[in-house]
Amino acid sequence: MNKLDTALVSCALKEAGFTLTASVKEADVVLINTCSVREHAEQRVLSHLGHLKHIKKSRPDIIVGVIGCMAQRLGDKLLEHEAVNIVCGPTQIPQIADLLNQALKKNEKCLAVTEKIRTSSEDENQTLERFESAYGIEDKQIPSQAYVRVMRGCNNFCTYCIVPYVRGPESCRPPEVIIEQIKKLASQGVKKVTLLGQTVNSYKYKKGQKTYCLADLLDTASDIKGIKWIRFVTSYPSEEFFGEILQVMADSPKVCNFLHMPAQSGSDKILHAMNRHYTSHWYLELLAKARAAIPGIAIAGDFIVGFPGETEDDFQATVDLLKKARYRNSFIFKYSPRPGTTAEKRLQDTVPPEVKQKRIVKLLAAQEKISDELSRDFLHKEVKVLVEGLSKKSHRNIAGSSNNPQLVGRTETDYIVVFNGPMSLAGQFVKVKIIKTSPLTLFGELI
Ligand code: SAM
Ligand code: SF4
């Protein structure tokens, strides 16, 4: 989500005449796009702002803007920070160019956030829609790939989560604007689109007699010439539309066999306290249905360890679930109390930091073992890879390196593949034979 917002803002600012630079030294304006999901993310922004405060001593004209969830959460408190000139929430990003011009001309502080985010207006939604349709078709992070938001906000209120309070209520974009956006992206050479939503599988849009669901979007997007792969994240464990989604995944070779469906915990007591509406048994049955419909489907998960009240037994239930689910990979986080959420208001953060640390290490190790086993299945096999570009990390011991640089790409099931090849392959599909594996990365040779 945040990557998409950064791309939208960059695109809007370029159109308004700004030039982008990655160097603070060259910049007249510094924008920080923020996330509030965990405290750690906010701490990093604050330390960045501390650094900018220092820079502003010698360059007082530099304009600093904070955009995104932290802006919405902290509002005028953030504006009080010495370094900050602009605070702009996620709903106000269409105003960003005007806010910057205003701040540059008058050197005044500006606050643009929604006062009552849970009752955000139809006007605001329409402004966001126009912004997204206009700027969601350029400035892809990787030239052949793009993100397309299908819904905003969330109505689920998992007790630990800040998202519903900073991103507002769930609102689904009309199917025709989503499809039109994907068509435009395809005409610009985009081959892979990722549909985004906090509970993307619950997408629904009523138009006349028909209610469109995610499966309809996937099906229609599959007919778009030029689009080769379509994926969607993140799915909430739910049976609603699940059969339809699996069916279109099975029927369309373009819909990637990949599901990101977080469990968060394996303990029914903790799932209940988290306000997640399922049990671990039911969740595993849902995964079994997915595997029966799509053999070879890759499944990714998220977990929170150290949620208030999590005992050793609860944690062990999470380890057991993770092992049974056999995820391709999991994103594992230590519980971080977020101000204003139900868990923060009603439950004490009972699990000590050292216990959270021990649990995260143990769960990561269990996942690494499974990821390693699943990766090994690819050894000596051929995989189809969409090349992203130069590999950021330099990996050693790759055979046949010749004079070509190391490239990185992904398979349909989201495995990272590293191999040597000419840069001209960026954005292309290639076949790679896997010669070495690690838990998260496959290494191979171009065929
Ligand atoms: N909407 C998605 C879902 O329901 O699975 C995930 C959204 S959230 C931005 C991404 C992940 O952050 C969650 O799946 C959860 O594991 C983690 N997360 C959210 N709130 C958290 C908190 N207070 N402490 C630790 N991790 C948290
Ligand atoms: Fe947060 Fe739950 Fe909504 Fe995901 S579904 S964004 S975890 S409230």
Residue of 4, 265, 333 to mutate, ligand 1, most atoms within 8 A of C-beta: 333
pLDDT mean over 10-16: 93
The one-letter amino acid code at 122 reads: E
Q: Which atom of ligand 1 is nearest to the CA of 341?
A: 23
Q: How far is the CA of 351 from the centre of ligand 1 (A)?
A: 18
The one-letter amino acid code at 124 reads: E
pTM: 0.95
CA 11 to chain centre: 19
CB of 164 closer than 6 A to ligand 2? Answer: yes
Using one digit for the tens of pLDDT, what is the confidence trace for 376-422? 999 999 999 999 999 987 655 455 556 789 999 999 999 999 999 99
281: CB partners within 8 A, 6+ apart:
none
Lowest mean pLDDT: which of 35-49, 347-361, 387-401? 387-401
Using one digit for the tens of pLDDT, what is the confidence trace for 157-205? 999 999 999 999 999 999 999 999 999 999 999 999 999 999 999 999 9
- If you ran DSSP here, which 8-state letter would residue 216 be given? H
Q: Can you read off the two tokens belonging to residue 327?
A: 């995820």
| Alpha carbon nearest to ligand 2 atom 2, residue | 158
The one-letter amino acid code at 44 reads: R
8 Å CB contact between 256 and 227:
no
Report pLDDT for 141. Answer: 62
Report pLDDT for 22. Answer: 85
Closest CA to 204 of 215, 193, 194: 215
Q: Which atom of ligand 2 is nearest to the CA of 164?
A: 8
Interatomic CA distance for residues 125 and 384, integer angstroms: 39
Residue identified by tokens 């030239």 is 143
Using one digit for the tens of pLDDT, what is the confidence trace for 126-157? 899 999 988 877 655 677 999 999 999 999 99
Q: Is 17 exposed, middle or buried (0-12, 13-18, 19+ CB in 10 A)?
A: exposed
SS3 content of the chain, % helix, strand, coil (to 5): 40, 20, 35
Percent of the chain with pLDDT over 70: 97
Report pLDDT for 119. Answer: 85
CB of 235 closer than 6 A to ligand 2? Answer: no
Q: Can you read off the two tokens belonging to residue 403?
A: 């004079």
Using one digit for the tens of pLDDT, what is the confidence trace for 214-255? 999 999 999 999 999 999 999 999 999 999 999 999 999 999
Closest CA to 148 of 114, 175, 122: 175
CB of 199 closer than 6 A to ligand 2? Answer: yes
Q: Is 362 exposed, middle or buried (0-12, 13-18, 19+ CB in 10 A)?
A: middle
The one-letter amino acid code at 128 reads: L
